[in-house]
Amino acid sequence: MESFRQFQAGPDPFGRAWQVRFKWLQTAISLRHSDTVDVRFILRSDGEQVEKTIAMPHKDLLALSRDTGQLMTDPWCARLAVLHLKHMVETGEDLEKNLVTLSAEQLREYNAVLAGAPSAAGRA
């Protein structure tokens, strides 16, 4: 996978490509009193700038880490978030939302992509 710190996503349903920059990754306990790992990105296209936060439930990340033997690291979490952000941009799904929380199933699918297995939903 390319760098999670800076990459291109798209095209979106309107044909726009977005330049994406990683802003931060942190636990949301202090931010929103939520037991999630949040990853925020800044997206820019044609003079427009938006921020998107991908939230991943901590308990689901721990279970996935335990089940797969994948160490729970910041880069791993960021790469899982990148895959969902790209999915959002390419499909338009939840693109109007600034905060999107992933399900345990989505995390499993994205981890499979990172591990090199084909995704059931065809996401990459």
- What is the reported pLDDT for 27? 83
Alpha-carbon distance of 72 to 94, in angstroms, equals 26
Which of these, 21, 25, 52, lies nearest to 37 by C-alpha position?
Answer: 25
pLDDT for the residue numbered 101: 96
C-alpha triplet 60, 108, 100: angle, nearest 5°: 65
Question: Where would I find the beta strands (DSSP E) of the chain?
Answer: 6-9, 18-27, 36-45, 48-57, 99-101
pLDDT of residue 30: 63
Distance CA 32, CA 105 (A): 23
CA distance 41 to 39: 7
Segments in the chain below pLDDT 50: 120-124
Question: What does the pLDDT read at residue 33?
Answer: 62
pLDDT of residue 3: 75
